[in-house]
Structure 1
């Protein structure tokens, strides 16, 4: 029997797994593969240099899958911010009905999307921010634990606590994000009250991920200790793969006497990180990865991965259920 959660019912997917937005990874090739496998694939809007390029990527994805897919739109501080409203309008114009939002001051974009009856999955790293998002009318909250890749927030709260707090305090269905790679994790998230899971790093190490094979192999060969937190000094804490550039950036962060961001800026360049995915030199620039890298041991297709996750989750739920019996325990 297929999964029957608020997430699968509302999004029209078979397996309650969302492929989170990932800069320089979330292209049509990966999104369509995840959607074809029964999950929800996500195109990352800002991988596209202009709103019109996003339109082309959406149309390309439609040629690769007939199943639902969504768009990630992340709002982050920038000296020259993108025209988020224009990206949102393309999403609306193209009839996309599922959007993952994240970042600062999402209210105007969420309002714009909700007027078009878009289903919003909003990513949060604290319950306080989640409650603010509820007031904006989001449909699902993606509760992002400290284990996650990329922006982890400034509170260092892991998913075991965050998910239970979400279950206790939020009146909106939520998904578990950060630290998930297998069916056992999915079963655990469902037990804690989530309607499904969001995976990023796990999908980087799949056949269809549009990144260099050496990066995928680096993930497979890594341990859960092979990430590092950078930019905490500037309250923009980010979890990165602990390569040489990341270590150099940390040294600057710890030893800088001025505390000026321009000292560390060249080390954390997003463009250098993008080149890692193209040239396969895992030490060329910084790139995000979650602690879940310690759980990833192969490079399957998205279909193989989601089929496995579904099977593992069912086995885990059945095993847990078998631990309880209605009949009194035998006396010794």
Structure 2
């Protein structure tokens, strides 16, 4: 049953207006199926499956596990993750495998819009600030997800907070929008909807879901971290990233401080995605850039995805109750 009625819940038949964002190396078929059955919509990360056959197989597995419930595919159009000459192929594979919605990010989707329309895909474009959302709206995307400075992963260069993004988006956008970045509580869902959003994007809050295929020690570390346990690095190469603070973030910060002209190739031995992937496999969170945002303060226990969504629903209903309590009685009411 739909708890909050928005464009997102109506379009995809959701219980809650929550998009479970694509998590590099972690957003697989089990993740999107858990989100789907809990009442949200999850996005499998295409870049985690660089071989076409592997991607096709994982989408097929997700389709079977979701059993008719909606899920999507996240396509980062950053060349280092999904090379430009493969992006078209990823879109085609997704459509051929029955996917109906794509989450794009990384650069302007305009060159791909004719193909995406031809394939009949709904396009949710993810951006770090409203100014980019306005551009995405102008090129014809269906929705935008605006993920603010509090997010894990890449918050962009403007570093605009989610609360400000939400208010500006409600004022400036005509298409449905979602708000992410530090979102991990049901009251935040209600706040976003009150400012005009059709839903929210969550990533960090869901890292403690039992269905996440990562080492228990990794999830234990996330559950015991606080909102103060993140670090921003790589701003020197205009690729700012917010991750779990650890030995790697200290080393990268030192390198960027000592050498302001540092290049991405010089940073790569420390920041390679392969190092982070190893942490998910081994549970050693001391090394690697492990995306995590301020919602660490709201992810306090490893639980099934369904239980996380149950808590979100209860929190959202409590927030709605508080709003009802503070509303003035209608004029003339007894």
TM-score (norm 1): 0.95
Summarize deviations over 1:220-257 as a string: whole Å, max 9, x none: 11111111111101111111111111111110011016
Summarize deviations over 1:77-109 as a string: whole Å, max 9, x none: 439826111111101111211111111132233
**Cα distance, 1:204–1:80 mapped onto 2, change above 3 Å:** closer
Aligned partners of 2:236 and 2:261 also within 8 Å: no
Of the three residues 255, 271, 283, the one matched with 1:252 is 255
Matched, 1:3 2:4: yes
CA RMSD, 1 decimal: 1.7
Q: Partner residue of 2:25? A: 24
**Cα distance, 1:33–1:257 mapped onto 2, change above 3 Å:** closer
Q: Partner residue of 2:125? A: 122
Post-superposition offset of 1:172: 0.7
Aligned partners of 1:204 and 1:211 also within 8 Å: no
Aligned partners of 1:117, 1:223: CA distance in 2, in Å? 42
4+ runs of 1 displaced by more than 4 Å?
A: none
**Cα distance, 1:9–1:256 mapped onto 2, change above 3 Å:** same
Aligned partners of 1:125, 1:187: CA distance in 2, in Å? 21
What is the aligned residue count?
A: 329
What SS does the corresponding residue of 1:264 show, helix, strand or coil? helix
Q: Partner residue of 1:74? A: 76
What SS does the corresponding residue of 1:156 show, helix, strand or coil? coil
Q: Partner residue of 2:190? A: 187
Q: Partner residue of 1:152? A: 155
Matched, 1:321 2:324: yes
Post-superposition offset of 1:140: 1.0
**Cα distance, 1:170–1:304 mapped onto 2, change above 3 Å:** same
Aligned partners of 1:183, 1:258: CA distance in 2, in Å? 43
Of the three residues 163, 173, 178, the one matched with 2:176 is 173
What SS does the corresponding residue of 2:145 show, helix, strand or coil? strand
Show structure 1 runs of 5+ residues with no match. none
Q: 61-70 vs 156-165, which deviates more?
A: 61-70
What SS does the corresponding residue of 2:326 show, helix, strand or coil? coil
What SS does the corresponding residue of 1:151 show, helix, strand or coil? coil
Aligned partners of 1:150, 1:121: CA distance in 2, in Å? 18
**Cα distance, 1:59–1:224 mapped onto 2, change above 3 Å:** same
What SS does the corresponding residue of 1:315 show, helix, strand or coil? helix
Matched, 1:307 2:331: no
Aligned partners of 2:330, 2:25: CA distance in 1, in Å? 55
Post-superposition offset of 1:26: 0.5
Matched, 1:238 2:227: no
What SS does the corresponding residue of 2:40 show, helix, strand or coil? coil
